[in-house]
Amino acid sequence: MAPAPRWRVCGRLFFSFAPLLEFRKTALVADPVKRTVYLSLGSNLDDRAKNLRDAIAALANARVHVVRVSSVYETEPVDYLDQPWFLNCAVEAETELAALELLHALRGIEAQMGSKKLIAKGPRLIDIDILLYCDEVIDTPELQIPHRRMHLRRFVLEPLAEIAPNVQHPVSHLSIADLLARTPDKSAVRVAAGLQPGQLRGAV
């Protein structure tokens, strides 16, 4: 039998949806209070830097206010190796969207930009993942927060550690800087040549 979906809201763990209706801070219902979220963006097709800029610009129309953007990093493919290198960055943002609404908004941006996930972990015109949503822990078939592989991905941790080194992972309680120091991933991650810190910020 599959494990029951669970949500952690304000430190409390729920195994059924009913108690969540008593809380405004739910993973599924919008809340007027802005929450800090961290996103990972990546592209390895066509004009990769433009794809990142366009995706960041599109966040505003999705009710996501960008606060900070990391440097752009060129990163070696992981898992599926026969593909071009990626450009990746991390974004700190604020949103009133519930976590599931945010996921759907990000998927909408990907679709509008023409991104298609034809191969698992394969080439992407644009890929936008939710890494952290406030300090909440969400585990449903559609959405897992924190991102379940972020601690195993140097291409995620390097940009994130640049803008949020002291933010804690809500499950391990390790800081992002600590996760980066401990990750077993040894893939190459380097600041992209010709793209200096802040060059994506014109899209904000």
Specify the CATH number for the domain of residue 61: 3.30.70.560
Does the residue 6 lie in any domain? no
Residue 45 vs residues 19, 77, 90, 123, 195: alpha-carbon distances, Å: 44, 13, 18, 7, 17
Q: Does residue 14 fall inside a structural domain?
A: no
Residue 12 inside a domain? The answer is no
Residue that wins the pLDDT comparison between 138 and 1:
138
Residue 19 lies in a domain: no
Residue 1 has pLDDT above 70, yes or no: no
Domain extent, residue 121, equals 31-203
Q: Is residue 10 in a domain?
A: no
Strand 86-95 relative to strand 73-75: parallel, antiparallel, unpaired? Answer: antiparallel
Q: Is 55 contained in some domain?
A: yes
Radius of gyration of the chain (CA): 17
Q: Which position has the higher pLDDT, 16 or 148?
A: 148
Q: Look at residue 127 and tell me if it is in a domain.
A: yes
pLDDT at 88 over 60: yes
Tell me what the mean pLDDT of segment 13-41 comes to.
64
Render pLDDT for 34-83 as a digit per residue (tens, 0 to 9): 999 999 999 999 999 999 999 999 999 999 999 999 999 999 999 888 89
Mean pLDDT, residues 124-133: 96
Query: How many domains in the chain?
Result: 1
CA of 60: how far to CAs of 21, 38, 87, 93, 147, in Å? 28, 15, 21, 10, 22
Q: Give how far Cα 15 sits from Cα of 2, 19, 139, 142, Å.
A: 13, 9, 10, 16
Which of 56, 34, 35, 52 has the alpha carbon at shortest distance from 43? 52
Domain contains 3: no
Element spanning 167, H or E: none
pLDDT band at residue 121, thresholds of 50, 70 and 90?
Answer: confident
Q: Write down the residue that tokens 């752009």 correspond to.
A: 72
Report pTM: 0.83
pLDDT of residue 204: 46
